[in-house]
């Protein structure tokens, strides 16, 4: 298979380099991205970057990170309590726990966002970029698995008003308004407000929304060489939290059966009432609040040197109740984070360009997970309604500094060499209470153990890590609009703790190799991009949560990941006003060797949440009307092959292959001020699991316990631009 994939890639490169332009027109827009910390055309970026532009967010109703999944190959974006789990090419993490940082970085305007805030609303977004693979030589907060960048719209020098209103099933109502106000000749203010409410997707009315978000941005240019951008995201998300549902059976580990005929029916009634030992399943409140403030100062020191400084502050609080199938849960977390990034870039128009930076951060978190069990579940004779303090972190602090940089040298007009490096120093300490049966959940005070009447035993851990990463690459302009590249680089992620003394995991390390080609052909009517990759991970952090026992399992595994990503965009001359997009991702992600010998029985297992095949298809067609108006039809569809929700491939944790299709039909006025249309998502009504845990096949209807993605939704949308 490796030989076949390599042969296919080089055949694609050769075909791209020799293709002839069939038309001088260039109907496919050339997208500018900043994934490599400099503005450049997407097709000139030597990486498999996927970019999603502003119009797509409106037409396809993208308002959260999880909504983007249909548009990106070999990426899973799945909800879990407060956060959105990000899996890029098989690498990601589960568990909303204070000491678990994901291997993939999520950034808003260059600011690292902790995992619990990845579910924040997307308000007034200019562009989103997905960049797979390690990115430590260009990003202050290194990322071993990949980076997702969200870039908001900057204030402009025009007076602008934008408004969007949506209504749909599940009593869906969303309203967003944005106002841009110029302040003299050199400053502007931009403000956005968004409100979203709907009923719950689950029959108990759980998984509902009552969210209010605001985004405020100020930009000023006091001189031709200085620009300051200050922004803030403020959000409160209420409504009812999602519940975990039972799934599967023991006789068929890949069973897709749910207890009720409707997969989104989380109730345990009728014949299932025997499992509801703590009472009927209902919807429980969520209180999620965050404030994120950032800034970017750009100073062109001279014609060759430019300085950028990005500070940020984040405050986050969250608490929710929810059901883990039939068990009651109380989950909470707080985060305080401060980051500073300082970069210096050099470009004199000659052969050498470089970027260097300093980064410092400190994040403090707390969090507890309490689970209530039915009779005899914790141990024989245990009382009904007993609470387990399953994870209790009272004080966790992670701080670090890094020096990073990358240079590019042109050997000739067609050949360039790339080299980069990173030194990082990270320090972690934490303490809390060990798991114990307690009288009741305790957030702002010490828990009280049920059988002793005093606080449970404590735990504390501390450790530090230093590391040096490197990057080497070569770029070759094989034709006027064909870029071929090859890169080798390393990645690193510090270790972490479990809620027991002396339970420090090893740091994760990566050696990666990529070879790719990006081509624009047929007079700009065809874009053809391909990349093959091979990743060697040592001690990759691997996790699983057991909802049956309330236990969090942390381990590490050596893994080998290889695959192919191929992206095509085509606007045929024979079909005017029509564009096609197609992406194919193949992923061979397997565990090679677990750190603990007792887990070697899981060697060669497919990695969790890592489907072998991902295919996305998009079609956009415009019907032109008088006076410049038009009707646009937009279709996007995604296929994923089957995958497992945990590393051990437990019964009830398998997601069978599925297809999801979204459509929109929108009328646009000739002056660009109005649009009105219909939209539908998940037309197949596919029941797809997101984050998942193992359940108890005796006390639950099934052995699996997943969250579910949204069912079929549909509605109308109206926009106004003044």
Q: What is the pLDDT of residue 22?
A: 31
Q: CA torsion sign, 113 to 507 to 334 to 76?
A: positive
Q: What residues in the chain have per-residue pLDDT under 70?
A: 1-30, 32-40
Residue 712 and residue 284: Cα distance in Å, rounded?
Answer: 23
Residue 13 and residue 59: Cα distance in Å, rounded?
Answer: 33
For 501-523, how does the pLDDT look when each residue is reduced to its tens digit (9 = 90+)?
Answer: 777 888 999 999 999 999 999 88
DSSP code per residue over 474-503: EEEEEETTEEEEEEEEEEEE---B-SSTT-
Q: What is the pLDDT of residue 28?
A: 67
Architecture of the domain spanning 2-308+326-721: Beta Barrel (2.40)
For 657-679, how does the pLDDT look when each residue is reduced to its tens digit (9 = 90+)?
Answer: 999 999 999 999 999 999 999 99
Structure-derived torsion over alpha carbons of residues 319, 325, 458, 102, reported in degrees to the nearest 10: -70
DSSP single-letter state for residue 605: P
Question: Element (H or E) spanning 714, and its range?
Answer: strand 713-721
Residue 468 and residue 490: Cα distance in Å, rounded?
Answer: 9
DSSP code per residue over 181-194: EE-TTSEEEEEEEE
Q: Where are the beta strands (DSSP E) in 547-694?
A: 551-570, 578-594, 613-624, 630-640, 643-644, 654-655, 658-668, 674-681, 689-694
Q: What is the pLDDT of residue 122?
A: 94
Q: Exposure pattern of 686-706 as b/e (b: 16+ CB <10 Å)?
A: bbbbbbbbbbbbebbbbbbbb
């Amino acid at each position: 298979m490796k030989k076949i994939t390599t042969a296919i890639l080089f055949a694609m490169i050769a075909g791209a380099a020799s293709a002839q332009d069939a038309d001088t027109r260039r109907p496919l827009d050339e997208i500018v991205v900043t994934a490599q910390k400099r503005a450049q055309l997407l097709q000139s970026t030597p990486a498999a970057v996927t970019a999603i532009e502003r119009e797509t967010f409106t037409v396809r109703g993208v308002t959260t990170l999880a909504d983007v999944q249909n548009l990106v190959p070999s990426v899973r974006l799945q909800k879990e309590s407060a956060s959105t789990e990000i899996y890029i090419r098989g690498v990601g993490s589960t568990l909303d726990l204070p000491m678990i940082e994901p291997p993939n970085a999520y950034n808003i305007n260059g600011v690292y966002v902790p995992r619990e805030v990845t579910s924040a609303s997307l308000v007034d977004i200019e562009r989103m970029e997905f960049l797979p693979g390690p990115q430590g030589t260009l990003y202050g907060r290194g990322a071993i698995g990949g980076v997702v960048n969200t870039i908001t719209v900057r204030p402009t020098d025009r007076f602008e008003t934008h408004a969007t209103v949506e209504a749909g099933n599940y009593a869906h109502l969303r309203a967003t308004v944005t106002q841009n106000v110029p302040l003299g000749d050199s400053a502007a203010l931009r403000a956005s407000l968004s409100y979203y409410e709907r009923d719950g997707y689950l029959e108990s009315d759980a998984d509902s929304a009552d969210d209010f978000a605001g985004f405020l941005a100020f930009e000023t240019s006091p001189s031709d060489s200085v620009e300051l951008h200050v922004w803030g995201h403020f959000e409160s998300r209420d409504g009812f939290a999602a519940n975990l549902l039972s799934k599967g059976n023991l006789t068929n580990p890949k069973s897709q059966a749910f207890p009720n005929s409707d997969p989104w029916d989380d109730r345990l009634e009728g014949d299932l009432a025997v499992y509801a030992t703590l009472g009927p399943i209902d919807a429980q409140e969520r209180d999620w609040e965050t404030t994120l403030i950032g800034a970017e100062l750009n100073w062109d020191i001279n014609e060759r040197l430019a300085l950028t400084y990005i500070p940020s502050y984040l405050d986050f609080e969250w608490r929710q109740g929810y059901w883990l199938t039939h068990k009651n849960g109380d989950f909470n977390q707080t985060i305080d984070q401060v980051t500073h990034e300082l970069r210096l870039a050099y470009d004199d128009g000659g052969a050498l360009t470089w970027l260097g930076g300093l980064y410092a951060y400190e994040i403090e978190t707390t969090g507890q997970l309490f689970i209530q069990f039915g009779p005899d579940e914790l141990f024989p004779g245990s009382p009904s309604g007993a609470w387990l303090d399953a994870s209790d972190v009272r004080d966790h602090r992670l701080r670090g500094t890094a020096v990073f940089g990358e240079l590019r040298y042109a050997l000739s007009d067609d050949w360039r060499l790339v080299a980069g490096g990173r030194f990082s120093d990270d320090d972690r300490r934490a303490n809390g209470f060990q798991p114990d049966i307690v009288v009741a959940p305790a957030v702002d005070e010490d828990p009280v153990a049920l059988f002793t009447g005093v606080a449970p035993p404590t735990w504390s851990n501390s450790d530090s890590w230093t590391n040096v990463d490197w990057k080497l690459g070569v770029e070759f302009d094989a034709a006027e609009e064909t870029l071929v590249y090859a890169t080798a680089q390393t990645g690193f992620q510090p270790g972490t703790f479990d809620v027991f003394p002396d339970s420090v995991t090893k740091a994760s390390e990566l050696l990666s190799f990529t070879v790719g080609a990006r081509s624009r052909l047929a007079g700009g009517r065809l874009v053809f991009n391909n990349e093959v990759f091979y990743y060697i991970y040592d001690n990759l952090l691997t996790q699983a949560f057991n909802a049956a026992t309330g236990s969090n399992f942390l381990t590490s595994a050596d893994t080998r990941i290889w695959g192919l990503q191929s992206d095509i965009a085509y606007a045929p001359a024979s079909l005017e006003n029509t564009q096609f997009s197609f992406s194919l991702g193949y992923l061979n992600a397997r565990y090679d060797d677990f750190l603990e010998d007792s887990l070697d029985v899981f060697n060669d297992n497919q990695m969790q949440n890592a489907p072998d095949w991902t295919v996305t298809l998009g079609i956009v067609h415009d019907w032109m009307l008088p006076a410049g108006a038009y009707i646009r039809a937009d279709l996007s569809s995604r296929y994923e092959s089957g995958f497992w929700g945990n590393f051990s491939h437990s019964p009830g944790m398998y997601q069978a292959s599925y297809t999801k299709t979204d459509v929109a039909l929108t009328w646009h006025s000739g002056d660009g001020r109005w649009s009105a249309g219909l939209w539908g998502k998940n037309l197949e009504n596919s029941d797809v699991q997101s984050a998942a845990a193992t359940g108890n096949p005796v006390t639950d209807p099934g052995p699996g316990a997943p969250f579910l993605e949204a069912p079929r939704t549909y509605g109308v949308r109206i926009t106004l631009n003044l």
